[in-house]
Chains A and B, each alone.
Chain A
Amino acid sequence: MSLFDVAFYVLAFITVGSAIVVVSSRNIIYSAFALLFTFFGVAGLYVLLNADFIAVTQVLIYVGGILVLIIFGVMLTTKVFDVPVKTETLHVGPAIVVTGAIMGTLFGVILKTKWFDILNVQWDGTTKKIGERLMTDFLLPFEVASVVLLVALLGAVIIARRERVKS
Chain B
Amino acid sequence: MEERFIIELTQSLKNFLPEVSLTVTLSLVILLDLIFGRRFKNIGAFVSLAGLVVTLFFTIKQYGGSYQIFRGMFVVDPYSTFFKFVFLLSAFVIVIFSLQSYELRETSARRRIGEYYFFILSLTLGAFLMAGSVNLIMMYLSLELVSISSYILAGYIKESERSSEASMKYVIYGALSSGLMIYGISLVYGLTGELNIYAINASFLSSGYSPIVLMISLVLILAGFGYKISAVPFHYWTPDVYEGAPITVTAFLSVSSKAAGFAMLVRFLKASFIDRTITLGIEGAWAVIQGLPLTEIVAVLSALTMTVGNIIAIWQNNLKRMLAYSSIAHAGYILMGVVVMQNLGISAMLIYFLAYLFMNLGAFYCVMLVAEKTGSEDIEVYKGLGYRAPFLSIVFTIFLVSLTGIPPTFGFIGKLYLFSALINAKVIWLAVVGVLNSVVSLYYYIRVVRNMFLGDPESGKEPINFSPAHIVVMLILVIPTLLFGVYFTPIVNFAQISVAMFGLR
Contacts and interface: CB of A to CB of B under 8 A. Distances in A.
A154 B30 contact: yes
B118 interface: yes
Interface in B209-224: 210, 212-213, 216
Candidate in B138, B142, B152, B155 with the most chain A CB atoms within 10 angstroms: B152
B138 A155 contact: no
Nearest to B74: A140
Interface in B141-190: 141-142, 144-145, 148-149, 151-152, 155, 158-159, 167, 190
A151 B122 contact: yes
Contacts of B191: 113
A123 interface: no
A148 B118 CA distance: 13
B70 interface: yes
Given A109-B212, A151-B149, A155-B148, A140 B155 contact: no
Contacts of A137: 71-73
A137 B12 CA distance: 12
B213 A113 contact: yes
B112 A158 contact: yes
A5 to B, nearest CB: 22
A148 B148 contact: yes
A163 B164 CA distance: 14
A57 interface: no
A138 interface: yes
Interface in B106-150: 108, 111-112, 115, 118-119, 122, 125, 129, 135, 137-138, 141-142, 144-145, 148-149
Contacts, number: 76
A158 B212 contact: no
Nearest to B216: A109
Contacts of B23: 147
A155 B152 contact: yes
A141 B70 CA distance: 10
Interface residues of B, number: 40
A112 interface: yes
A161 B247 CA distance: 23
A115 B125 CA distance: 37
A85 interface: no
B9 interface: yes
Contacts of A16: none
Interface string B68-89: 0011111000000000000000
B471 to A, nearest CB: 33
Contacts of B138: 140-141, 144
Contacts of B213: 109, 113
Contacts of B122: 147, 151
Nearest to A133: B71
B422 to A, nearest CB: 31
Nearest to B183: A106
A139 interface: yes
Given A139-B9, A163-B158, A151 B119 contact: yes
Interface in B5-53: 5, 9, 23, 30
Given A155-B151, A159-B152, A144 B108 contact: no
A114 B129 CA distance: 35
Interface in A123-167: 136-141, 144-145, 147-148, 151-152, 154-155, 158-159, 163
A152 B190 contact: no
Nearest to B116: A158
Contacts of A106: 216
24 contacts: A105-B216, A113-B191, A115-B190, A136-B5, A137-B72, A140-B70, A140-B74, A141-B73, A141-B137, A141-B141, A147-B122, A148-B141, A148-B144, A148-B148, A151-B119, A151-B122, A152-B148, A154-B115, A155-B152, A158-B152, A159-B155, A159-B158, A159-B167, A163-B159
